[in-house]
Homo-oligomer: A and B are copies of this chain.
Amino acid sequence: MISLLAAFALIATGPAAAAAPAADSPPAIIGFTAAHAGDEHALEARFDAALKPGDLRAWMERLTRHPHHVGSPWDKANMDFILSLYKSWGYDAHEERFDVLFPTPKQRLLELTAPTTFKASLTEDPVAGDRSSQQQREYLPPFNAYSPDGDVRGSLVYVNYGLQADYDLLAQHGIDVRGKIVIARYGHAWRGIKPKVAAEHGAIGCIIYSDPANDGFGRGDTYPNGPWRAPSSVQRGAVTDDVYLGDPSMPGRASLPGSTGRLTYKQAQTIAAIPTMPISYRDAQPLLAALRGAAVPSAWHGGLALPYHFGGGAARVHMIVKSNWRITPIYDVIARMTGTVEPNVWTIRGNHQDAWVSGAADPISGQVAVLEEARAVSVLAKSGWRPKRTMIYCAWDAEEPGLLGSTAWTEAHHEELAKNAALYVNSDTNGRGFFFADGTHSVESMLNGIAKDVQDPERPASIYARTRASEIVGGDRTGENEDDDIHLGAPGSGSDYASFSDYYGIPVMDIGFAGENGDGGVYHSAYDSFAWYVKYGDPAFAYGVTLAKVGGRAMLRFANADVLPYRYTAFAKTLDRYRGEIVKLVDDTRALTATTNRHLAQHVGELAADPHEPYVAPQPLGDVPTFDFTTLTAATERLTAASAAYDMAADAALARGVIPPAADPALVAVERGELDNRGLPRRPLYKNQIYEPGYYTGYDAKTMPGIREALEARNWDEARSYIPTVTAVVSSLADRINAATATLK
C-alpha cells in the first residue's frame, strides 16, 4: 500500500519532475532518499487523515473530571486509563511506579499584623458553570510545594521580581531585607529562584503573587469574562532550588519503591531555604497598600490601583506554612512500538499527566494531542506499516512538583537510554496560536522541514509561515533574517525533557502552540478547567490536532528515515554563536566595569539621586582579567568543519541510496559528547556542558554554562577553569560527528 501510494505521488509530479535529480522530487525530507521521501509523505497524509479532534475533546473531558495532582485518586485513574488506551492500540505498554517525597498543605496562614490587620483568604472563588473550580474539597489549595515548614513574622518589603538586580536597587535605596519577609511578583524567572535569592539576602519568608499587569486584567478580560487571571486566582507551583532534578529525597537515583538512603526533607538540598507562599492579587492588594517608604521606580509598578512602595517599615506580616511530608507513589505509563530494523534506536515522545488542579491546559491539552498522535500511529501499524526504529510513548506523573516522574524513569533506565535514545520529543501545555520549539540544534533543520509541511488550522498558511510572521511583527526577525529557519530556543528546564538533556545528553525537542489563548491566565490555578479550555484554550481542538501532526511527523521521520535525520550545520553555527556571546560577555563586562567604576568615582549615582531620599552607593567592581579563548575557538572551528562535512556526506549517501548500518549508532552517540563527568559548579549531576537551566533563571537555558554563569557571577577562576572543559566537549562533538561521517564513506 505504501509503495503504491508513493508510486501515485511520483506519477502526480509528472515525468519531467521524475527525470529531475532525485533530491528535488518529490519534496525532500531530511534523512530520506528521494524515493522513500515519497513513501513518507504518503504515510504522513494517511496519518493526518486518522486524526480526530473529537478524541481530544472526549479525553480532556475524562481526564479533567477531577483534580489529578500527585497522589490523588484521579491521578492514578488517569494513568490507568491512559495505559488501557495504549494497550488497546496495540502498544507494548506498562506502568512504572516510583515513590517520591511530595508535600501537601497542612497549615497555611498569611496575615497583615501592622499597621492595620488583614487576613489573606488563600482560596479561589468557585465559578458558576466551571466544575473544576467548584471541587475545593478535592483539590489542593494554593501552595508552593517544597517550601519548608515555618511560622515567621516580619516587616514586609516589596522586591519586584525578586532577582539580584532588584536587591541591588533596594540596597541603593538603603533597604535591607535581613530578618524581613519579601513579597515578589511572579515572572522574569522560575518561581523557585525567588525564595532562593531572597534567602541569600537574609529574608526569612517569601510571598509570591500574580500581579495583574503581568497576569490579570492588565492583559485582558479576566475569567470567567475572558481568559485572563481572575482576582482570586493563585499560581501554585514548586519552589525547589534545582541543584538536581526530580525527587528531592533521592538526588541522582531513581526513586524506586523500597529504596534506602532516602533524604529527609530537612536534609534535601533542593528544598526552598525559607517559607514561601503564593497568593492572588486580591490577597496581595491590602499587603502592598500597607507599604510605605519611597515610591518605586516605574519599572517596578504593577497593575494594582495603588502607589507601589518598597516598604520595609511598619507594615508587618505573619506567615505560617506547614506541609504533610509524605512519600507518595507515582506512576509513569510507557508504551512501546518496537522497530523492525533497528529496535535499539529509540525515539521517545512524552507529556505529563499530573496537574496542580484539573489542568485542562497544563498538561491535558498536550497529553490528549500526544495520545491522538499515538492512536493515529497505531492506525498506520494496523494497516501493515511498522517503524524501522523503536517508538516509545510516555505519560509522565509528578511533573508539576519537579519533573519527578520523567527524572526517575531516566535515572532508572539511563544505561539503556545512553546507548539507544536518539531523540526525546516533549509537549506540555498547548493552545491556539503560533508554533514554538525549543531543542538541541541537531534537529532544527528537520523540524523546520516539518513546520513548512504542516498547515495552520485557522489561516491558509504553514505553521512555519505563521511563526515567521509573528517573529517579524514581534521584531525578533528582521531584514536579512526574514527567511531563515525558525531557530530553536536552547533547552533549559521546566518540563520533562530536562533530565534527558541535562543529565544524559540526549537530543530533545519541546514543541507546542501558544500565543492566542491567554493560557497564562489560568496557569496552575483551579480555573485551568475543561470549561475554560473549550471556551478560550483551543475550542475546536484544532491546534491539538496540529500538534499531533507535528509530533507525529517527528516520530515517524525518526522511525522511518534511511538515516537518522540530524543535521549539524545549524548545530555548529549555534554553538559558535554561544562561543561568540561568551567572548562578548567578557568584553562587555570589562567595559561595564570601567564605566561603573568611573561613574562611582564621579558620584554620578548620588548626584542623580533625589537628595531627600536615602542613597547608598554600591562598591566599586574588581577588574576583569583577560581570558584565552583560543582553544575554544579552534574547537568550534573544527566542529563547524566536521558538521559541514557530515551534512554533505549524508546528502551524498542518501543520493546514492546506500546507508551503512553503522551510521545510526554513531549518530546516536554524537550528543553524548556534550557531557562531562565534572558536571557544573555546585550542580555535579548536571553533566551537559552546552545546554543547562540557569542557576539564577530556572527555566531559561544558560549555554556553555560552566563559563557563562561564572563570568556573570564575576568568578574569574571558575570561568577560566571551565574553558578547557567546554573546549574538550566541543572537540568531542567534532570527533563524534567525524566518526559518524566516516561510517557513510
Return the contact of A307 from the options B228, B473, B604, B612 (Cβ within 8 A): B228
Q: Which of A217-225, A436-444, A630-638, A654-662 contacts B (4 or more CB under 8 A)?
A: A217-225
With A604-B472, A608-B472 as contacts: A218 and B516 at CB distance below 8 Å: no
Whether A612 and B516, one on each chain, are in contact in the complex, defined by CB atoms closer than 8 angstroms, is yes
Closest residue on chain B to residue A516 by CB atoms = B610
Which residue among A212, A220, A298, A432 has the maximum number of chain B CB atoms within 10 Å of its CB? A220
Give chain B residues whose Cβ lies under 8 Å from the Cβ of A220: 295, 307
Whether B295 and A226, one on each chain, are in contact in the complex, defined by CB atoms closer than 8 angstroms, is yes
Closest residue on chain B to residue A221 by CB atoms = B307
A131 within 8 A of B: no
Whether A305 and B307, one on each chain, are in contact in the complex, defined by CB atoms closer than 8 angstroms, is no
Interface size on A, residues (CB 8 A): 44
Return the contact of A459 from the options B295, B303, B307, B606 (Cβ within 8 A): B606
Which of A602-659 touch B at CB < 8 Å? Answer: 602-608, 610-612
Closest residue on chain B to residue A469 by CB atoms = B607
Which residue among A219, A228, A472 has the maximum number of chain B CB atoms within 10 Å of its CB? A472
A7 within 8 A of B: no
Give chain B residues whose Cβ lies under 8 Å from the Cβ of A469: 602-608
CB distance from A733 to the nearest CB of B (A): 36
Whether A295 and B607, one on each chain, are in contact in the complex, defined by CB atoms closer than 8 angstroms, is no
With A459-B611, A611-B458 as contacts: A599 and B472 at CB distance below 8 Å: yes
CB distance from A683 to the nearest CB of B (A): 35
Closest residue on chain B to residue A472 by CB atoms = B604
A173 within 8 A of B: no
A597 within 8 A of B: no
A284-324 vs B, CB cutoff 8 Å, 1 = contact: the mask equals 00000000000100100101111100000000000000000
Return the contact of A473 from the options B218, B298, B474, B608 (Cβ within 8 A): B608
A460-504 vs B, CB cutoff 8 Å, 1 = contact: the mask equals 010001101110111000010000000000000000000000000
CB distance from A189 to the nearest CB of B (A): 20
Give chain B residues whose Cβ lies under 8 Å from the Cβ of A228: 307
With A218-B298, A220-B295 as contacts: A461 and B305 at CB distance below 8 Å: no
Could you list which residues of chain A lie within 8 angstroms of chain B, going by C-beta atoms?
212-213, 217-222, 226, 228, 295, 298, 301, 303-307, 432, 458-459, 461, 465-466, 468-470, 472-474, 479, 516, 595, 599, 602-608, 610-612
List 15 additional contacts besides A221-B295, A469-B608; criterion CB under 8 Å: A213-B301, A218-B307, A219-B298, A301-B303, A432-B610, A432-B612, A461-B603, A461-B607, A466-B607, A466-B608, A468-B607, A469-B603, A472-B599, A472-B608, A473-B604
Q: Can you give 9 contacting A-B residue pairs, CB < 8 Å?
A: A217-B306, A218-B298, A219-B307, A228-B307, A301-B303, A303-B305, A432-B612, A468-B604, A473-B608
